[in-house]
Every structure is written in structure tokens, then in C-alpha cells.
Structure 1
Amino acid sequence: MKLAIMQPYFFPYIGYFQLIHAVDKFVVYDNIKYTKKGWINRNRILRNGEDYTFSLPIKAASDSLDICDRTLSTEFDRNKLVNQIQGAYRRAPFFSNAFPVIEQAIRFQDSNLYSYIFNSITKICDYLGIKTEFIVSSKMKIDHGLKAETKVLALCEEAGASVYINAIGGVDLYSRETFNARDIDLKFIKSKPLEYPQFGAEFLPWLSIIDVIMFNSAESIQAKILNEYELI
């Protein structure tokens, strides 16, 4: 059984969904520290020919809180974000198909940061036909005081994984020998270069999944783009 473990990200890039698609079960970390300078609550879209960063405003709280303990700011204007996405992509070839999915995810009313982002991830997976089973990390019966590689191994064993697939950025974080000693094969997913027309302008790579579904049909993403990676 192939397993991946990742933090939730708001409308992340295609590689995140390739990872979900590549495994049988996907553990979403809800009880891990929120990092405000990371990409948990922000990403990039194409706007007027340039990349534009959008974000979810987070209610001020202790930096020590986990993602599941953080909430969206009461000042979060869902209409404004919906209008920004609409304005940026209304001329995109698959806008009429993709925009309702994005709008529904943005208008989701839960204010918990984890729940809000997780809902958006599942909405995109439904749209792309990804059937991977999701598991919430805090619900798993392990010692949640474990850290780093030791915790990942515990999560793998609890889920019954024989293969653990991590994002390519984690190559230096994990040891194949350590995983092999626990009868788990360690792999890393590397997305292949992806390019598609973006209003005839110079291509901007690795934008939010929003960009991908606006310029590519759900069928072509499912049939080809989700499989454009290699495991190393």
C-alpha cells in the first residue's frame, strides 16, 4: 500500500495533486505547527500576465498553535477573492467548468483553517476524479509527540504502508536505510516540466492548481497531467 503524508495547502500546485493521485492513502497533517511564512494559506495565480499571490488572512494567535487550532480572520472577504479569480481567468478556455468548483471552495463557511483548506483539496480531487483515501493525522493512533522522520515512520506503520512517497523536496530529510529497516520502500515524486498556453503570454510554471484547471480540461488532466511525474 502506497502512502503519502503532507500538510494541507490552499489550492496548491499540480505536484501536490500528482502526489495524492500516486498513492492509495494520503495523510493530511492537521496537528502540525502552522508556519506563517510557508504556503499553507497562500499561492499564486496568473493575473494580467504576471504571477499574483493570493492568501487567506489568519486570525492572530500564538505561533505555537497547530494548523487545526488556527482560524480564518473575521475580515476574510470571500467575495473579494472570488472576484479576483473570476477577473483573472474569465477568458480562460475552461473557466465555465472550473470556476464553479473554485467558487464553491472559497465560499465554504467553516472558519477553521484546516477544515477550510481540506475542503478545497477534496473539491479539486472530486473535479479531477482522484479517488485516493484521505486520513487525518490527529485521528491516527500513534505517539503524536514524535518528531520528523520518527513520526512519519509511525504514521506509515499505523496506516499499513509498504511504500512511502514524499515530495522531492524531502530528499535530504529521510533515510532509505531507516525506512528499509522497517520494511517500507521510500520513494520521492518529481514532477515533469509542464507547459500549456496561458493567454498567449510567456508561460509561468508551477502556479496554483487554479491555473491548471482553467487552461486544461479535467479529462486531459486526469488522463495525462496527473501522471506526468517520476518516482525516484
Structure 2
Amino acid sequence: MRVTIHQPEHLPWLGLLAKVAASELWIVLDSVPYRKNYFQNRNRVLIDGKPTWVTVPVTAPFGTPISEVRICEVPHWRRRYRGRLCQSVSGLPGAHKVDDLLSSVDAAAHGSSLADLNLDLADWLLAQFDVKVPRIRSSELDARGAKGELIVDLCRAVGADEYLAGPSGRDYLDLEAFTEQGIKVSFFDFEHPVYSQGENDFVPCLSAVDACARLAPEELPPLLAGYRTGAS
């Protein structure tokens, strides 16, 4: 079984969706500390040709596991979030699609789980690309260690025989530790596709919401095919 392990990003980009699609199980890495100012509570959409952040405010003291991060209320954040997301898709063929995403955001009450919201949004996006891959949270598994050691233990816990790692894994993974457990390591290199964003120069690495709003349903799955896997 080929497994990938990745944190629950907010409104994830095409590269994460492609990595999940290339796997047979997604282990959602929610047992590690929350990373401030990263992609766990925010992502970028395109407004007037410029990448713009949409952000969910959270309460997360230093060292808080992602699974325990809670949404907090600050003045007008929902109105600002809704306004930016709607502006980013205004006039596009799939603009109506964001209503489902906004319903999930609106339903996420003060004190509710950021990871729960992120996975609801990820499930919706994966469905748009016709990706059906089961997932399990690392917080539900009996795995220990940090960094590479934790990755090996998570793979062992689900009976994986192959781990699909991101390109940065080349810098820190102990490949011998995987070999000792009978686990093959492959590295996932995503080549970002280019699609029409109107008259503006193409901006890569946005939330996959951008592609969903611009392209027809049958045009979406091929966007996830631009990757290479192989050894280090």
C-alpha cells in the first residue's frame, strides 16, 4: 500500500491534491505542532491578478498540536473571508461552486476544530478532481518519534509498503530506517500545470479553488497528472 503523509492545509493547492491522488492512503499529519504563518489556516486566491490571502483566525499557543487548534472569532473575519473568496471567483464559470465551501466555513463555530474544517474543504476539493482516496489522522494512530522517525512509525502503523514523500524529504529522511521496515520510499515532484487565468500572467501555487472556478469539470482531473515519482 502506497501511503502519503501531509498536514491538513487550508484550501489546499493542486500539488497536495495530486500527491493524495497518487496514493492509496492519506495519513493526515495532525499530531505535530501547528506552524504559524504557514498554510494551515490560510491560503491564496487571485484577486485582480494578484495573489491574496484568505485566513481563518485561530487560537494556537506555541507547541499546540494541529488536532487541538481552535477557530477563534475576531471582528469581521467571516465577512472579509467571504468577500475575498467571492471576489476571486466573480464572473468565472464556476463561481457558484464556492457556496459549498463558504457553507462549511460559516458552519465552523468559535472554538471548533481547524483540522475538521480543513478536511471538510479538502474533501470537497478532492471530489471536484474525482479523487477518492481514504484517509486517517495521525492523532488516531499509535506512532511515536519526531520528523523522519515519526514518518517511519506512521507507515508501519498502517502496514504501508511504500511511502510517497515530498521533495524536501530528500534532505531529512533516513532511507535505511525505511528499508529496515520493508518500506520503499518514492519522492513526489509536482510540475505545476498552466491554465488560463484570463488576461493576467499565470500565477502558480494558489488554492485549487482557482482552477475549480475557471475550468470545466472534465478539465480538472488532468491537472493532477503532472508529476514524477522516483528514488532520491
TM-score (norm 1): 0.91
Which residue does the alignment assign to 2:38?
A: 38
Matched, 1:226 2:224: yes
1:138 aligned partner, one-letter code: S
How does the TM-score come out when normalised to structure 2? 0.91
Provide the C-alpha distance between the structure 2 equivalents of 1:188 and 1:95, rounded to a whole number of angstroms.
35
Find the residue that maps to 2:51 and give its secondary structure: strand
Shift of 1:204: 0.7
Q: What is the count of residue pairs matched by the alignment?
A: 227
> Where does 1:200-215 land on structure 2 (aligned, <5 Å)?
200-215=199-214
Q: CA deviation at 1:29?
A: 1.4
Residue 218 of structure 1: how far off its partner (Å): 2.8
Match of 2:61 in 1: 62
Question: SS of the counterpart of 2:164?
Answer: strand
Task: Identify the range of structure 1 (180-189 vs 79-88) with the bigger mean alpha-carbon deviation.
Answer: 79-88
- C-alpha RMSD of the superposition: 1.6
4+ residue runs over 6 A deviation: none
Question: Aligned ranges for residues 105-116 of structure 1 at < 5 Å?
Answer: 105-110=104-109, 111-116=112-117
1:105 and 1:123 in contact (8 A); partners too: no
Deviations 1:150-208, CA, capped at 9 Å, x for gaps = 11111101111111001222221213333222211101111113111112111111111
Instruction: Name the structure 2 match of 1:158.
Output: 157
Q: Displacement, 1:21?
A: 0.5
Per the alignment, residue 139 of structure 1 pairs with 140
Partner of 1:29: 29
- 1:191-202 equivalences under 5 Å are 191-202=190-201
Cα shift readout 1:35-87 (whole Å, capped 9, x = no counterpart): 1132211111111111112211112x421211111111122633431221111
Mapped pair 1:117 → 2:118? yes
- Shift in Å, 1:213: 1.1
CA contact (8 A) 2:194 2:202 kept: yes
2:107 aligns to what SS in structure 1? coil
Q: Is the 8 A contact 2:57 2:77 kept in 1?
A: no
C-alpha contact (below 8 Å) 2:67/2:139 kept by paired residues: no
Runs (5+) with no aligned partner, structure 2:
none
Matched-pair contact (CA < 8 Å) for 2:9–2:39? yes
Identify unmatched segments of 5+ residues in structure 1: none
Counterpart amino acid of residue 42 in structure 2: R
- Is 1:71 the counterpart of 2:70 in the alignment? yes
Query: Given that residues 15 and 192 in structure 2 are in contact (C-alpha distance below 8 angstroms), is that contact kept between their aligned partners in structure 1?
Result: no
Distance 1:133 1:55 in 2: 27
CA contact (8 A) 1:56 1:72 kept: yes
